[in-house]
């Protein structure tokens, strides 16, 4: 299906409180422009290098999100323009983002990436670590970053019950923390294979690649 048709279908599927982040990894500037022309403004890349290669060739009102792992030595390249970083998993990274954001006169919104899947991965905080980080004075001291929510990826499995329970646990944590921290407003959960379940379990932001652009080659 054409990108435009995919987007029109998605727009009618997604409730107004859910933001569609179109995941552009491996897709060309031309195809991203097509999605822009069909009305999308929020795009996500998972690699800094790919983001830097595409960003200059797309309209300036695109809202760029970084959704993949971020190394501290790459922070400085994206801070001048990035709108939201979904993949923050340490205080050290927040401090680095804060430092560069201050130099750029910006405040950068970040999500804490929470580890919810039953899979081996190097990335993400567990709920206890996230809670400790949120209540730490060291975070409060940072004036140029703002933690506005959480991101989580469910296990890559056909077992819907498992996926649902992983999303549910993150939404419960989100609801709970929201009552203590006013800035929390975004819950990034759901990719092409599981966004419908994620939305039923409280997602406010879905990260869709294949559903927008078709299969990656
Ligand atoms: C690639 C990617 C997605 C989108 O994957 P699709 O299955 O194509 O929707 C979402 N989130 C992250 C972190 C990704 O790397």
Provide, rounded to the nearest whole percent, the portion of the chain with pLDDT above 70. Answer: 99
pLDDT digits (tens, 9 = 90+) for 48-78: 999 999 999 999 999 999 999 999 999 999 9
Q: Does the pLDDT value for residue 121 go beyond 90? A: no
The CATH classification number of 3-211 equals 3.20.20.10
pLDDT at 107 > cutoff 80 = yes
CA of 36 to the centre of ligand 1 (A): 18
pLDDT band at 15 (very low <50, low <70, confident <90, very high): very high
Q: Cα–Cα distance between 9 and 210 in angstroms, integer?
A: 13
- Render pLDDT for 138-165 as a digit per residue (tens, 0 to 9): 999 999 999 999 999 999 999 999 999 9
Do 83 and 64 meet the contact criterion of CB atoms below 8 Å apart?
A: yes
Q: What is the dihedral of CA 28, 57, 89, 131, to 10 degrees?
A: -110
Asked if 89 and 113 touch (Cβ cutoff 8 Å), the reply is yes
Q: How confident is the model at residue 118 (pLDDT cuts 50, 70, 90)?
A: confident
| Domains in the chain: boundaries | 3-211
Q: Which residues line ligand 1 (CB under 6 A)?
A: 23, 25, 46, 67-68, 191-193, 207-211
Using alpha carbons, list the distances in angstroms from residue 32 to 38, 39, 72. Answer: 10, 11, 27
Q: How many other C-beta atoms can be found within 10 angstroms of the C-beta atom of residue 119?
A: 11
**What's the predicted TM-score (pTM) here?**
0.97
- For the chain, what is the mean pLDDT? 96
Residue 215 burial (C-beta neighbours within 10 Å; 0-12, 13-18, 19+): exposed
Cα–ligand 1 centroid distance for 60 (angstroms) = 23
- Indicate which atom in ligand 1 lies nearest the CA of residue 193: 7
**Best of 209, 212, 215 for a ligand 1 pocket test (most atoms within 8 Å of beta carbon):** 209
């Amino acid at each position: 299906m054409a990108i435009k048709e995919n987007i029109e279908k998605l727009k009618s599927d997604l409730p107004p409180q859910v933001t569609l982040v179109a995941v552009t990894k491996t897709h060309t500037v031309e195809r991203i422009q097509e999605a822009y022309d069909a009305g999308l403004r929020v795009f996500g890349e998972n690699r800094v290098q790919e983001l830097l290669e595409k960003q200059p060739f797309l309209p300036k009102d695109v809202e760029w999100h970084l959704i993949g792992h971020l190394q501290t030595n790459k922070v400085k390249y994206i801070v001048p323009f990035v709108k939201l970083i979904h993949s923050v998993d340490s205080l050290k990274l927040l401090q680095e983002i804060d430092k560069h954001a201050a130099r750029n006169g910006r405040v950068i919104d970040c999500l804490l990436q929470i580890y919810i899947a039953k899979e081996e991965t190097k990335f993400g905080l567990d709920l206890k670590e996230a809670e400790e980080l949120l209540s730490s004075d060291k975070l409060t001291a940072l004036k140029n970053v703002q933690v506005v929510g959480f991101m989580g990826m469910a296990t890559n499995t056909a077992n819907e019950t498992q996926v649902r329970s992983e999303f549910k646990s993150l939404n419960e944590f989100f609801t709970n923390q929201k009552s203590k921290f006013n800035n929390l407003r975004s819950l990034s959960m759901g990719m092409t294979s599981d966004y419908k379940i994620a939305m039923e379990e409280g997602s406010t932001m879905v990260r869709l690649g294949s559903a927008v652009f078709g299969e990656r080659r």
